[in-house]
Amino acid sequence: MRRITLACLGLAAIATSASAEEWGFVRASANDVRLFYGVPESEDVTVSVICDPARKRLRVAAFTLPAGAKPGQRLRIALTAGASSAIYDGTVVRDKVHGGLYVEAAAPADTRIFDLLRLPASLTIAVGSSQEKVPLQGAADAVAKMQQACLGR
């Protein structure tokens, strides 16, 4: 009986660590680099920053939505860490592959979002009446890679 219990606890630990959210960086192509907070190698993402380095443009995607959000609806994405914040005007869109909804906002690529993500506080993602708080601990390496790939510095 003790072996079964230990085996189940071991499987639970593996499942928990495999599904833990973390900050990551991905270079999808020369014109598509991504910083995200979510479960690596899955579609489970809380927030994503996508950059086109050639055009110096960002897209911020937040998957925290208020109840009743509809495609085409205009919503603001507010990212706050400590006393600093960045606000982006976005639109609710439907994921063409998975069918889920998220808010996406376009913005010029500048250091503002990277400076915000380097703060030692947690990051609060607010979209309409919905909020989610994620840790910034462990983000520094992914943020540095993203800024270098996106802005070249």
Please report which confidence band the pLDDT of residue 43 belongs to, taking 50, 70 and 90 as the band edges: confident
Looking at residue 106, the DSSP 8-state letter turns out to be E
Mean pLDDT of the chain: 86
Domain positions in the chain: 22-151
pTM, whole model, 2 decimals?
A: 0.83
Task: Read off the pLDDT of residues 60-118 as tens digits, 9 standing for 90 and up.
Answer: 999 999 999 999 999 999 999 999 999 999 999 998 887 889 999 999 998 999 999 99
Looking at residue 111, the DSSP 8-state letter turns out to be S
Order of strands across the sheet with 57-62?
A: 22-29, 32-38, 45-52, 57-62, 101-108, 84-94, 74-81, 123-127, 130-134
| CA nearest neighbour of 50 among 25, 78, 22, 84 | 25
Task: Read off the pLDDT of residues 3-12 as tens digits, 9 standing for 90 and up.
Answer: 332 233 333 3
